[in-house]
Amino acid sequence: MTDQIMFVTGNLHKVAEAAAICAPRGIVIVQNDCGYPELQDDDVARVAEYGAEHVVSRLGCAVIVEDTGLYIDALNGFPGPYAAYVYDTIGNAGILALMRDIDGGDNRRATFRSVIGYCEPGVAATTFEGIATGTIAHEERGEGGFGYDPIFEIDGVAFSLMGDDAKNNVSHRAKSFEKFAEWFIRRGMA
């Protein structure tokens, strides 16, 4: 059985990552770049819920949105839910500068948190979370991926150097989409 779901995002990397998880499970991801207001909130789950409910009220069909936070231990969880704003303002170079004096290993630990908000007309949003724990590198590496990929590593390998398949074996987004896909398929059979 093939089912489809509209994914509201302007980020083609996210669409490709989501499709690689969902396609083998019989779910087709249809991108919609209509945009939505990003709630400023400490919790990315609330940002995803709000975004999904907002889009449903506009489009009138089932949708998913996805929001990611990056939590760096040595910076007390900064930038957290404000990862997009911080990336757009100080970027990877700015994060590396803030962490200049922090030595390696666990001291540079960071966690990505991805939350998918699913919503359909007349029903409150449901969320699906995935996390990936790694470390912030000492320098940017590689050209692949997007956003913080050049500075986020797992077991010493930056997301930017992994290639799509390897990133999808370990990433926060792969985990949230696996949870979503499992639920979406079970629900379709109910």
Residue showing tokens 């990877």: 92
Cis ω on the peptide bond leading into residue 37 (within 30° of 0)? no
Amino acid identity of 29? I
Q: Which of 21, 68, 127, 168 is the binder for ligand IMP (CB under 6 A)?
A: 68
Q: Count residues binding ligand IMP (CB under 6 A).
A: 15
- Which residue among 33, 43, 67, 103 is the active-site one? 67
- Give the separation between CA 133 and CA 24, rounded to whole angstroms: 25
Task: Rule CB under 6 A: say whether 149 interacts with ligand IMP.
Answer: yes
Enumerate the β-bridge partners of residue 79: 71
- Give the separation between CA 91 and CA 22, rounded to whole angstroms: 30
Q: Which is nearer to ligand IMP, 53 or 149 (CB)?
A: 149
DSSP assignment letter at 38: -
The one segment of 28-36, 56-64, 79-87, 118-126 that binds ligand IMP by CB under 6 A: 79-87
Is residue 43 among the annotated active site residues? no
- Which residues does the annotation mark as catalytic? 67
Give residues in contact with ligand IMP (CB under 6 A): 11, 67-68, 70, 83-84, 87, 145-149, 159, 171, 173
